[in-house]
């Protein structure tokens, strides 16, 4: 499984790299706080929204703590043969702690 750290993701975003961030939390958690530009696809909707996930950009899957994202990464890699899917290490909690302390993570 490919893992990207919050620092690496922040650098990629700052450089305006080709990245798609998929937030797999529920809509209420997303509304409370998320990474700007991220796409909300709740975990249970992933199978019906695979066509919305980029096959060319680096895709970063994130949840609150990084615990649920691994299942989505594995699903996309094994079931749909994605090669460009990464797990955000420590999830949004660590990203917020390091780069956006005012972001609420539910």
Q: How many residues would you count in the chain? A: 106
**DSSP labels for the chain?**
-EEE-HHHHHHHHHTT-SEEEEE-S-HHHHHH---TT-EE--GGGGGG-GGGS-SSSEEEEE-SSSTTHHHHHHHHHHHH--SSEEEETTHHHHHHHHH-TTS---
Catalytically annotated residue among 21, 63, 64, 92? 63
**Residues 73-97 pLDDT 10s:** 999 999 999 999 999 999 999 999 9
Domain boundaries, the chain: 2-99
Q: What local confidence, expressed as pLDDT, does residue 52 receive?
A: 98
**Residues 2-52 pLDDT 10s:** 999 999 999 999 999 999 999 999 999 999 999 999 999 999 999 999 999
Burial class (CB in 10 A: 0-12, 13-18, 19+), 103: middle
Q: Note if 62 is an active site residue.
A: no
pTM over 0.85: yes
Span 2-99 CATH architecture: 3-Layer(aba) Sandwich (3.40)
């Amino acid at each position: 499984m490919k893992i990207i750290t919050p620092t690496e993701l922040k650098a990629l975003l700052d450089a305006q790299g080709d990245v798609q961030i998929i937030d797999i939390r529920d809509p209420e958690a997303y509304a409370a706080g998320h990474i700007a530009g991220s796409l909300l696809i709740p975990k249970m909707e992933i199978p019906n929204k695979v066509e919305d996930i980029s096959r060319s950009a680096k895709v970063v899957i994130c949840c609150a703590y990084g615990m649920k994202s691994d299942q989505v990464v594995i699903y996309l890699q094994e079931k749909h043969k994605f090669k460009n899917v990464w797990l955000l290490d420590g999830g949004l909690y660590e990203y917020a702690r390091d780069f956006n302390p005012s972001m609420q993570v539910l």
